[in-house]
Amino acid sequence: MSEPALPAPGRGPVWARPGSNAEGPVLSEACPERSRRVEGAVRFVSRGPGETRRLGARLGRLLRSGDTVLLSGDLGAGKTVFVQGVARGMGFEGGVSSKSFVLMGEYQGRQCKLYHADLYRLEAPEQAEDLAVDEYCADGVLVAEWPERAPHVFPPDHLFVGFEVTGERGRTLALQAKGPRSGELLTVIERSKQARKG
């Protein structure tokens, strides 16, 4: 599949502006090999919602304003459960709604906001343009379910998580980086996976 195209020039996508991602820890200092991750997927096996939530929380602790995470998989695959973990990892203490008719949820984390988009009910890709996704990306972390409904509105550098149902409580999560910043995130997540094994 080819990368989603950027919006037409003139719209001025915020993620293309230098310095829009300047806040927060610079992971590349700790991870010099950061872009090696761009092609390969890192797979995690989840044996229940708690494990999916914990993986989301691990990611949530690393995320900073400007980051985008796209979650792809069937209904009931665990995308919203994962977002609950991300919110917890970002320091949000309340509940995360899984009502699919809410297109954009907003949660205040410790350092920045989490925007949770669910495009399941989107009827046409053009409707997503009204969501002004680039503005959310500039103002916090964006995590989106059903990104394939409007792939063109998301920044090219995003962490992609593919969910697969392998049993009643079994899920496989395949994490892929689509650019240098998401490559940094994936490198750190993969290291924590290896550290747990060892």
Ligand X SMILES: Nc1ncnc2c1ncn2[C@@H]1O[C@H](COP(=O)(O)OP(=O)(O)O)[C@@H](O)[C@H]1O
Interface ranges with Mg ion (CB under 5 A)? 79-80, 98, 145
Contact string 156-175 vs ligand X (x = CB under 6 A): -------------x-x----
SS3 of residue 107 by DSSP: strand
- Tell which one of 49, 125, 151, 179 touches ligand X (CB under 6 A): 49
Is 161 in contact with 67 (CB distance < 8 Å)? no
81 binds ligand X (CB under 6 A): yes
- Tell which one of 46, 68, 182, 187 touches ligand X (CB under 6 A): 46
**At closest approach, how far in Å is the CB of 147 from ligand X?**
13
Enumerate the H helices of the chain as residue ranges.
27-30, 49-62, 79-89, 133-139, 180-197
Nearer to Mg ion, 68 or 80 (CB): 80
Q: Which amino acid is at 93?
A: E
**At closest approach, how far in Å is the CB of 47 from ligand X?**
6
Q: Which amino acid is at 38?
A: V
Interior/surface letters 124-159, b for 16+ CB within 10 angstroms, e for the rest: eeeebeebebbebbbebbbbbbbbebbbebbbebbb
187 binds ligand X (CB under 6 A): no
Binders of ligand X among residues 50 to 69 (CB under 6 A) are 51-52
Binders of ligand X among residues 100 to 119 (CB under 6 A) are none
Is 188 in contact with 60 (CB distance < 8 Å)? no
Concatenated DSSP letters of 129-157: GGG-HHHHHHHEEEEEE-GGGSGGGS-SS
75 binds ligand X (CB under 6 A): yes
Binders of ligand X among residues 14 to 43 (CB under 6 A) are none
> Among Mg ion, ligand X, none, what does residue 48 contact (CB within 5–8 Å per kind)?
ligand X
Q: Could you give the CA distance from residue 42 to residue 20 in angstroms, rounded to a whole number?
A: 27
Stretch near ligand X under the rule CB under 6 A, chosen from 48-56, 58-66, 154-162, 181-189: 48-56
Question: Which residues lie near ligand X (CB under 6 A)?
Answer: 46, 48-49, 51-52, 73, 75-81, 98, 145, 169, 171
